[in-house]
Chains A and B, each alone.
Chain A
Amino acid sequence: MSQETLRIQKISGHAGSVPGDDMQREYTVCKLIDTTTCIGCKACEVACMEWNDLPFGETVFDNTYQTMPETRWNYWNLILFNEHEREDGTLMWLMRKNQCMHCADPGCLAACPADGAIVQYTNGIVDFQQANCIGCGYCITGCPFNIPKFNPLTKRVYKCTLCADRVGEGLEPACIKSCPTGCLHFGSKDDMKYLAEARAKQLRDHSNFPKAGVYDPPGVGGTGVIYVLHDATQPELYGGLPSDPHVPWSVKLWKGPLKWLGNVAMVGGLIGLFVHYLRFGPKSREEEFEKKHEGEQP
């Protein structure tokens, strides 16, 4: 950060342009997962636990190669397996590495009420700051990918950080480093998008996957994790990847119009009552009432 702010923008008495200008790009980082070359070895799962110092929990066997049904507060990277039968009767073994998608428009962040508990860095990484987390779980409601997980012991929520600590030091995330087939790539969003589209074109043109494509859902503003899929028209086949994810409409309603309506009503109500008191005051004092009803028997 400090190095970035001290980069020279204008320079006095210098022949030519600013030295080093245009040499560095502003990166939005991105992870590219090519599901067509994933072999399901789970090296990324192990690397994630290693680097992030996560204790291993019990696995759940469900007749597939999947380690457990879904990610956990201490298991941020999980390969989902699906045995898919194609129309021609042949079998496809679909494997998708699942983790936080690092949305450009993160629903978790929109729903979070705690000051500074969720941040999005300028490089696009969405990160939870557990010190500020109050454990309300609104992020769980805001996320369209079922990623944030609650730890009942610490009462805080955890998820993949895209190895923000490594990326900040110029390293690639631990999962990328561990991948033996090269199905995982890491770089700028532009580069990864280009690489992904090139691979999808290759699959369409040369590998008999006419529906191959890139998953970078616009409903959440695009994601910091993108996929190459054999069949981009049916992302649900890949462990329930939503075809059109977006921040839930009720969360948008709650954090948008309802909030404004509520605030205006509350402030308006207070002002209204105050003005009423100034205009009409308290209900008639007892002497006045007695005077009006003098001689009357109820």
Chain B
Amino acid sequence: MTAPEHREHAEQRVPPGRILRYSFRERVTHWLAGLSYVYLLLTGLAFWSPWLFWLAILLGGGQISRMLHPWIGLLFFLAVLLMYALWASQMGFTDVDRAWFRSMRHYIRNEDEEMPPAGRYNAGQKLLFWGFFLCGILLFLSGFVLWLPEYIPWSLRWLRYIAVVVHASSALLTIGLFMIHVYMGVFAERGAIDSVIYGDVTEDFAKRFHPGWYKEMFGSAVRRK
């Protein structure tokens, strides 16, 4: 919850009336996670259902997809760890977040003025973060077993049995989170996708969706010129 975070990256020139929301490091980390996740999603869905196996063909064939999926998975897991280092301290749930969850129906109906004042991240974003973090760890552990099944001795075959179910279940959970995340970022919240590409948002965006964060940075009554 730090204003210094903002100052640290104050070198980035932001157009008038806009605020830096995501530092360069945050944006790079986000897209490392995002792009690797999309590759994992497409190849993973190919292995998930015969009806989607054409995705693997499209991405260079089943063999290449099977070979690259674990390596890109490592990249994704690295991104998950970097995101943890960047954001975990800002992702603790507060009383405001609990109130936010209780008012979720207003959020769904776009009645944002009814919502408790979210900080830099609202409760939904925090849920997304922890969801991806936990599923990321489960996917990494189970994925490791699935990567090299021939090295799992017969006496430890239960590891493989657990891994296939854990990998598929946690992947499905992330798909749910991912769909909502992309929907919110690209379609529902105008300006969100730009913020994670260029780094800045309008002051209105900050005031509307993250009033707590806006207050932290500029104080309650001070308006930045």
Q: Which of A252-268 contact B (CB under 8 A)?
A: 253-254, 258-259, 261-263, 265-266
B85 interfacial contact with A, CB 8 Å = no
Report whether A298 and B149 are in contact in the complex, using a CB–CB cutoff of 8 Å.
Answer: no
CB contacts (< 8 Å) of B165 on chain A: these are 250, 253-254, 258
Report whether B214 and A136 are in contact in the complex, using a CB–CB cutoff of 8 Å.
Answer: no
Known: A155-B67, A282-B190. A273 touches B162 (CB 8 A): no
Report whether B211 and A273 are in contact in the complex, using a CB–CB cutoff of 8 Å.
Answer: no
A285 interfacial contact with B, CB 8 Å = yes
In the complex, identify which listed stretch (B31-39, B45-53, B74-82, B92-100) lies at the interface while the others stay far away.
B45-53
Q: Which of A134-189 contact B (CB under 8 A)?
A: 134-138, 140-141, 146, 149-150, 152, 155
A290 interfacial contact with B, CB 8 Å = yes
Report whether A113 and B50 are in contact in the complex, using a CB–CB cutoff of 8 Å.
Answer: yes
Report whether B179 and A270 are in contact in the complex, using a CB–CB cutoff of 8 Å.
Answer: yes
A22 interfacial contact with B, CB 8 Å = no
Q: Is the interface of B mostly helix, strand, loop or mixed?
A: helix
In the complex, identify which listed stretch (B8-16, B18-26, B108-116) lies at the interface while the others stay far away.
B108-116
A277 interfacial contact with B, CB 8 Å = yes
Closest partner residue, chain B, to A150 (CB atom): B150
Q: How far is the CB of B131 from chain A (nearest CB, A)?
A: 14
Closest partner residue, chain A, to B171 (CB atom): A262
Size bracket of the A interface: 35 or more
Distance, CA A283 to CA B187, complexed state (A) = 9
Report whether B108 and A251 are in contact in the complex, using a CB–CB cutoff of 8 Å.
Answer: no
Q: Contact flags (1/0) for B139-158 with A, using CB distance below 8 Å?
A: 00000001011100010010
Report whether B110 and A283 are in contact in the complex, using a CB–CB cutoff of 8 Å.
Answer: yes
Distance, CA A269 to CA B211, complexed state (A) = 29
Q: How far is the CB of A40 from chain B (nearest CB, A)?
A: 22
CB contacts (< 8 Å) of A114 on chain B: these are 53, 62
Q: How far is the CB of B178 from chain A (nearest CB, A)?
A: 10
Q: Report the interface size for chain B: residues with CB under 8 A from the other chain.
A: 54
Q: Contact flags (1/0) for B159-197 with A, using CB distance below 8 Å?
A: 011111100110010011001100100011110000000
Q: How far is the CB of B203 from chain A (nearest CB, A)?
A: 9
Closest partner residue, chain A, to B189 (CB atom): A283
CB contacts (< 8 Å) of A113 on chain B: these are 46-48, 50, 53
Q: Contacting A282 at CB < 8 Å: which of B56, B163, B187?
A: B187
Report whether A140 and B160 are in contact in the complex, using a CB–CB cutoff of 8 Å.
Answer: yes
Q: Which of B37-66 contact A (CB under 8 A)?
A: 46-50, 53, 56, 62-63, 65-66
Distance, CA A265 to CA B173, complexed state (A) = 10
Report whether A292 and B179 are in contact in the complex, using a CB–CB cutoff of 8 Å.
Answer: no
CB contacts (< 8 Å) of A254 on chain B: these are 164-165, 168
Q: How far is the CB of A75 from chain B (nearest CB, A)?
A: 14
CB contacts (< 8 Å) of A250 on chain B: these are 161-162, 164-165
Known: A150-B149, A270-B179. A248 touches B168 (CB 8 A): no
14 further interface pairs, Cβ-Cβ under 8 Å (given A140-B150, A289-B208): A113-B50, A114-B53, A115-B53, A134-B65, A138-B164, A141-B149, A141-B163, A265-B172, A273-B183, A276-B183, A280-B108, A283-B112, A283-B188, A290-B204
Chain B residues within CB distance 8 Å of chain A: 46-50, 53, 56, 62-63, 65-67, 108-110, 112-113, 146, 148-150, 154, 157, 160-165, 168-169, 172, 175-176, 179-180, 183, 187-190, 202, 204-205, 207-209, 211, 214-215, 218, 220-221, 223
